[in-house]
Chains A and B, each alone.
Chain A
Amino acid sequence: MWKSLTKSHNSETVIALAGQPNCGKSTIFNAVAGFKVNTGNFSGTTVSYTETHVYIGGRTVRLIDLPGTYSISANDIAERVARDYLLSGQVDVIINVVDASLLSRSLELTLQLMEMNVPMVIGLNMIDDAQKKGMEIDIQALTSLTGLEAYPLIAVQGSGVQELFDAALKISENNFHRVPPVYDRDVEECIARIEARYPSLLRERLKMDTRFVIIRLLEMDEEFERIVAEADREFLEYVIENRRFLAEIHDWPESGVFASHRHALVLDLFEQVVAVKSRTGTSLSEKIDRFVINPVGGLVATVGAFFLMFAVSFWFGNLIADLLEVPLETLGSFLMSHTSGPTAMLVSGVYDGFTAGVGIVLPYLVPLLVILSLLEDTGLLPRIAFMADGLLHRFGLHGKSVVPIIMGYGCNVPAIMAARNLEYERDRIITMLMVPFIACSARTVIILALAGKYLGAGYTTLIYLGNIAIALGVSSVLSRLSADMSPGIIMDVPPLRKPYFHVVIRKVWARIMEFLLFAWPVIAISSIVLAVFSYVGIDDVINRVLSPITTYILDLPSELGITLFLGIFRKELTLIMLNSALGTTDVSAVLSSAQLLVLVVFTVLYIPCIATISTLWKEGGWKVALLSIALNTSIALAVAGSLAFLL
């Protein structure tokens, strides 16, 4: 940790965006760098840092989007990521992004960042929200009191961003003169006493501002205490002695005495900088909010959101898929009649891959992604978390699991990463193991294109409800196996915000491009490989190996072995390869309704895709990844197997 603290000198300027969760760091990042990171109106959309190179004013800038942190005390993984980066010594300028409408809360972090003594500017984002709240912020007063330049912004509209970055670059060039926050006389005397005894060994080991290190120690920062204990135990004892003294004279717990002085300073600063005018009337979003946080309203909103997500995808997807069916088939028969032999095999492979993308996946994927991004941007997710927390605790989950769960309907990979928001290991592992049971967009496409098309809306709904029941059942059993108790939720609830059309479009576009550039080529190549396989006869081998599962347990044609095998790479492949494996475009002609149901249920539940497995490995370790594979596969076999047996 914090190994190289001297920055390697090159022409690159490193700017880090730091701020509290949901203050719009990623929105600023995207405004400068094009759409590169996902955004949403809830805390913790960004859980690890993203960096990009941008050209500003003829210079190369390395721009870092850090996860949000309420403080620099590193309370969870995301906060640790942000803090380690800021302390790594690589950063030339910090842009402290602040939600202007929550200035008093945000200044707590600003003061802590100021203590680090790194050049810094403040970006007062969502200045329009602050004005709507009747807050008038005196930016000049803020600058003269903190010594930091501050710029008003509305990042989502891109306004003020240019000025902010120009200022950040200018500060990195000139010498930055900080004005450190000055505390009470007692506190300052305490710092001075400790500073006088600051060991030179520590100065060498921790190439950080001494005042900053002392303040971390006064705040009982365990990591700093450990480092200092290694370097000079006597010095640490001295600090602790002073800390106890400070706590005693202020009659405050040792862990909170310094923070209480900072709160006082923040309050004082806030009062000098902000004038609040009372305002009248309630806005539309507040009226909607009042409805949503009612038990009835909350239920309506939650169920409505899910219904909208699937019903629109189902209806719209079917409509487009039907429209495309005839032209695609015409193209297919045209191609078949004009090719023969190995060429025909190749052409049919390419054609299958193309059709799969255009005709099957995209019609369902696009509406699903649009609605998912609307849910993310409005801030409905934390409200669903609020309403559902009590209920989710009965299933061993947590209100905060709502965010990974709903994100999981888009893609399991970011959903598993979003589990980092959960502060406790136990909650995180249970959520990570539960997420792969959630039908991601790829599997939703399978459900809609097979069950929706051939079995009807009733069965589709049943499959979804069954899927949710299984996921909840899994987490419920897992939580019972773990002896620890979950300490409970603490989560920010941002105001509801209207989604911006251009943001939604860019988000959906970025995800569609991901499909077109990464998934589609895999699908196209796989369909060619499958065509070659069947030409040479290798698919028979795979089918035969898997036939105990396909024919004996699941009662499906053995030809489906290869498609289920390919589904491990990309879930869509199972669906797409189905036509070529069965040699027909009308699946219902070959499979009975019962077989279709078994196939869909099995595909939704069995082994997570490669990308999900590797994310589980990265986030939770190999044990979690293996456990997840075992859980999903055994439950898929049990559920789909008993369906096959019963039907």
Chain B
Amino acid sequence: MTLLELKEGDTAVISRVSGGKGVSARMAGLGLHAGKKVRVVRAAPFRGPLLIEDISSGARTMIGRGIASHVEILDEKP
């Protein structure tokens, strides 16, 4: 399952970031790496990016849908 499949408000733990070294390095720089628990705050209109919140720090990052499809997650339904 990937981040892209989550709905607004869902939380999940990132298990792996694929899609090249550049993408995973950039995501890691923003604190989004394997083991991080994140929440989808909002999906932008017009197939825009997802607004992701790192639960532990509260930091928010927008990531495009293409990149979100490379972020694998462990599903964690409340």
Chain A residues within 8 Å of B, Cβ to Cβ: 20, 69-71, 73, 75, 101-105, 108-109, 133, 220, 255-256, 259-260, 263, 267, 293-295, 298, 382, 385-391, 393-394, 399, 423, 487-495
Contacts and interface: CB of A to CB of B under 8 A. Distances in A.
A105 B59 contact: yes
Contacts of B22: 75, 423
13 contacts: A69-B29, A75-B22, A75-B29, A256-B17, A260-B33, A263-B33, A386-B44, A389-B64, A394-B46, A488-B49, A490-B26, A491-B63, A493-B60
B31 A108 contact: yes
B13 to A, nearest CB: 13
A75 B49 CA distance: 21
A488 B67 contact: yes
A391 B30 contact: no
Interface residues of B, number: 37
A259 to B, nearest CB: 6
Contacts of A390: 44-49
A641 B29 CA distance: 50
Question: What are the 10 tightest A-B residue pairs by CB atom distance, in nearest-first order?
Answer: A70-B29, A488-B64, A390-B48, A390-B46, A105-B31, A488-B66, A493-B60, A489-B64, A389-B48, A255-B21
A423 B30 CA distance: 15
A49 B44 CA distance: 33
B61 A490 contact: yes
A489 B49 contact: yes
A133 B25 contact: no
Main secondary structure, interface of B, reads mixed
A490 B44 contact: no
B35 A487 contact: no
B64 A133 contact: no
B21 A386 contact: no
Nearest to B32: A490
Interface in B24-78: 24-31, 33-35, 41-42, 44-49, 51, 54, 56-67
B45 A295 contact: yes
A464 B51 CA distance: 30
A255 B24 contact: yes
Interface of B: 17, 21-31, 33-35, 41-42, 44-49, 51, 54, 56-67
A163 to B, nearest CB: 26
A383 to B, nearest CB: 9
Nearest to A387: B44
B56 to A, nearest CB: 6
B48 A399 contact: yes
B33 A386 contact: no
A490 B33 contact: no
Contacts of B65: 488
A79 to B, nearest CB: 9
A103 B26 contact: no
Given A389-B44, A490-B67, A108 B49 contact: no
Nearest to B21: A255
A293 B41 contact: yes
B64 A487 contact: yes
Nearest to A289: B60
